[in-house]
């Protein structure tokens, strides 16, 4: 015997609820195969479910679109900050600046390496240290490091901060929509299960074939088990050969 299968994608869930809801608009309550309580629940839930899915897809699309810009902004900030520290080290090697200059940026006076800037947190931390340190050093009478100047580094760093904030906001929204979708998806499955039970119960006095075809008009989906269509077709052929 064929069996019904509940939707397992959001598109299929929306389709199942939409078909049933359309039936509810076409038929008066006394002729409808499911309860008035369920149609009220459908009318309230379906727009909410569709809206949240739409917001999720829009946020994901924006996040994907902006990710290239974000990565480029991050890359530029890292390059300029790295170059600034290297120029400072070269000035120390040439004797133009004392080794103690490194202390202004939170770097050990004997450390000739560029700090690790491999992730956003490291870039945020060292960017602030270097910018604040250089600005303080200049206020104390130190000669500015050039090519790049700290003003140029600061512009690139602030661009990164702006992109990073927007990126995190989008990521947070995506998580929120995902969590809400998971909750709504469970409710959608509950509503569809209830809806289909009511429809099949209303059609329970009909023959099996009539029950299936009438229920399918409300959006129910039936599947045959493996080889079942072949067995049915074979039985039909036999009945035609052997009346």
Give the pLDDT score at 225: 73
232: in domain: no
pLDDT at 19 over 90: yes
Q: Residue 161 and residue 168: Cα distance in Å, rounded?
A: 10
pLDDT value of residue 240:
37
Mean pLDDT of 137-157: 96
Query: Where residue 3 falls among pLDDT bands split at 50, 70, 90?
Result: confident
For 47-84, the pLDDT digits (tens) are 999 999 999 999 999 999 999 999 999 999 999 999 99
**Phi, psi for 223 (deg, rounded to 5):** -130, 150
237 in a structural domain: no
User: Is residue 73 a part of any domain in this protein?
Assistant: yes
**Whether 6 contacts 219, CB under 8 Å:** no
200-228 residue pLDDT tens: 999 999 998 999 999 999 999 998 877 66
What's the per-residue H, E or C state across 18-64?
HHHHHHHHHCCHHHCCCCHHHHHHHHHHHHHHHHHHHHHHHHHHHHH
Tell me the two tokens of residue 48: 């909410």
The answer to whether 145 touches 168, Cβ cutoff 8 Å, is no
Domain-located, residue 202: yes
Name beta bridge partners: 4.
Answer: 222
Query: Which residue is listed with tokens 């490194």?
Result: 102
Number of neighbours of residue 230 by Cβ within 10 angstroms: 10
Peptide bond into 148 cis (omega under 30): yes
Q: At residue 230, does pLDDT exceed 50?
A: no
Using CA atoms, how far apart are residues 228 and 3, in angstroms rounded to an integer?
Answer: 11
Identify whether 5 is part of a domain. no
**Does residue 211 lie within any of the structural domains?**
no
Q: Is position 216 within any domain?
A: no
Q: What is the pLDDT of residue 227?
A: 66
Q: Of 14, 38, 12, 11, which is closest to residue 24 (Cα–Cα)?
A: 38
Percent pLDDT > 90 in the chain is: 86
Is 2's pLDDT higher than 60? yes
The boundaries of the domain holding residue 194 are 35-206
Residue 49: exposure state from Cβ atoms within 10 A (0-12, 13-18, ≥19): buried
Whether residue 28 is contained in a domain is answered as no
Contact 182, 82 (CB under 8 A): no
Domain count across the chain? 1
């Amino acid at each position: 015997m064929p069996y019904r299968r509940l939707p397992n994608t959001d598109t299929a869930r929306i389709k199942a609820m939409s078909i049933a809801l359309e039936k509810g608009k076409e038929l008066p309550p006394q002729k409808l195969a499911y309860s008035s309580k369920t149609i009220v629940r459908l009318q309230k839930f379906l727009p909410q479910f569709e809206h949240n899915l739409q917001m999720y897809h829009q946020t994901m699309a924006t996040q994907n679109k902006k990710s290239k810009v974000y990565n480029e902004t991050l890359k530029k900030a890292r390059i300029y900050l790295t170059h600034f520290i290297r120029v400072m080290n070269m000035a120390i090697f040439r004797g133009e600046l004392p080794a103690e200059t490194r202390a202004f940026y939170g770097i050990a006076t004997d450390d000739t390496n560029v700090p690790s800037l491999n992730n956003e947190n490291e870039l945020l931390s060292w960017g602030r240290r270097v910018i604040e340190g250089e600005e303080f050093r200049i206020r104390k009478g130190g000669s500015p490091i050039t090519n790049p100047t700290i003003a140029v580094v600061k512009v690139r760093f602030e661009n990164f901060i702006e992109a990073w904030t927007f990126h995190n906001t989008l990521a947070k929204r995506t998580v929120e929509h995902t969590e809400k979708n998971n909750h709504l998806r469970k409710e959608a499955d509950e509503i569809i299960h209830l809806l289909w039970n009511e429809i099949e119960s209303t059609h329970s006095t009909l023959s099996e074939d009539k029950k299936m075809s009438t229920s399918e008009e409300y959006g129910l989906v039936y599947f045959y088990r493996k080889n079942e269509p072949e067995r049915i077709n074979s039985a039909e052929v036999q009945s035609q050969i052997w009346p």
